[in-house]
Amino acid sequence: MGEIEQISAELAKPESIWALMGNTFKGPLAWMAVMLFIYTLAFSALLIFSVVKFFGAENTGDQIMWATAFLAVLMIVSSLKIFYWMMMFRESAMRRLDRIEKRLSELKCE
């Protein structure tokens, strides 16, 4: 019964958010994490650009256009971040499953 409690204690340890983020930049899907990071930065710059253009617009039609651009880019950035979080937690779940599988194979051998 002691080994099962040890496995439970090991799996109950929370990982920091920085460790989870760092782990997405390792492994076979690291290129996707890098691309998501680059796209998020690019669209964030576009977001700021649309805000600046909105406040610099002279007529109402231009303000509506830049406000619409802001909202569209905001939705894109939000979607990219949600996808990154899903990718991050997928990696965490896979790591936990690997640890459980390894521990079960060790218990089976004993």
Give the mean pLDDT of 25-42: 91
Residues 18/48, Cβ–Cβ less than 8 Å: no
Helix (H) or strand (E) segment spanning residue 90: helix 60-109
Looking at the domain assignment, is residue 20 inside a domain?
A: no
- Band of pLDDT at residue 109, cut at 50, 70 and 90: confident
Pick 15 or 30 by higher pLDDT.
Answer: 30
Per-residue pLDDT, averaged over 80-84, amounts to 94
Q: Which amino acid is at 73?
A: V
pLDDT at position 50: 96
Q: What is the pLDDT of residue 92?
A: 82
81 assigned to some structural domain: yes
Q: Considering the domain boundaries, does residue 12 fall inside one?
A: no
The highest-confidence range among 77-81, 90-94, 97-101, by mean pLDDT, is 77-81
pTM: 0.76
Domain that holds residue 92: 27-109
pLDDT tens for each residue of 44-73: 999 999 999 999 999 999 999 999 999 999
Q: Measuring CA to CA, which residue among 23, 10, 7 is closest to residue 91? A: 23
Determine the Cα–Cα distance for residues 93 and 83; give it in Å rounded to an integer: 15
Q: What is the mean pLDDT of residues 77-88?
A: 94
DSSP class per residue in 2-59 = HHHHHHHHHHHPPPPHHHHHHHHTSSTTHHHHHHHHHHHHHHHHHHHHHHHHHHH-SS
Place 83 in a pLDDT band, splitting at 50, 70 and 90.
very high
User: Is residue 11 one of the residues assigned to a domain?
Assistant: no
Is residue 33 domain-resident? yes
Name the domain count of the chain: 1
